[in-house]
Amino acid sequence: MFKKLDILDEKDNRLRKVSVDAKLPLSDEYKALVERIITELTYSQIEEYEKKYNLRPGMGLAFPQLGINERVIVIVHEYDDGKFDNYVVVNPKITSSSNELIAAEAGEGCLSVNRNVEGHILRYARVTVEGYDVDGNKIKIRAREELAIAFQHEIDHLNGILFYDRIDKNKPFYSEDEIRLI
């Protein structure tokens, strides 16, 4: 039986807290929650399930969005039509990044922000993320383009930052001449 997650809205102050490191390995309860998150994110990206369960499409979720003040992120990336890679990183850190900056042309969205927010967010085109899997094994992920944006967005949640905090109020949009838009 599929039951939707209770995702906090941007008005909830818990989203503005800096999260603490999660204890490793994750508890069975947290591992089950990670599986629920993966299912919901996957369903949200498949039109049939998105409509059936009234889901907003999303590719990432951080524990703080569920009211859990711990450093765990989950990303479900559709790399090809109907094919997904799942990334679960506990206590993630960006250990290196490209000099090149990019922005999502359509802007970013967030499952905690139930409104459209206009503007480009400058992000690194490539990042290396290190952390741990749910069992406490060290992992390293190299991400580029859309996936790199997702990692930066979710790690921001762990630091109490919402994507629109990063929109430059004086210059909310960039042209292709200024920044590579993807």
In a domain? residue 146: yes
In a domain? residue 21: yes
* Residues annotated catalytic, as ranges: 154
Overall size of the chain counted in residues: 182
Q: What is the pTM of this model?
A: 0.97
CB 109 within 8 A of CB 146: no
Supply the pLDDT for residue 62: 98
In a domain? residue 3: no
Statement: residue 108 has pLDDT above 80 = yes
Statement: residue 56 has pLDDT above 80 = yes
CA–chain centroid gap for 164, Å, is: 14
In a domain? residue 8: no
Q: Residue 28 sits in a domain of what CATH number?
A: 3.90.45.10
Average pLDDT, the chain: 97
In a domain? residue 143: yes
Which residues have C-beta within 8 Å of that of residue 16, sequence separation ≥ 6?
A: 160
> pLDDT by residue (tens digit) across 7-34?
999 999 999 999 999 999 999 999 999 9
In a domain? residue 4: no
In a domain? residue 169: yes
Structural domain harbouring 110: 13-181
Supply the pLDDT for residue 1: 77
CB 30 within 8 A of CB 38: no
Structural domain count of the chain:
1
In a domain? residue 90: yes
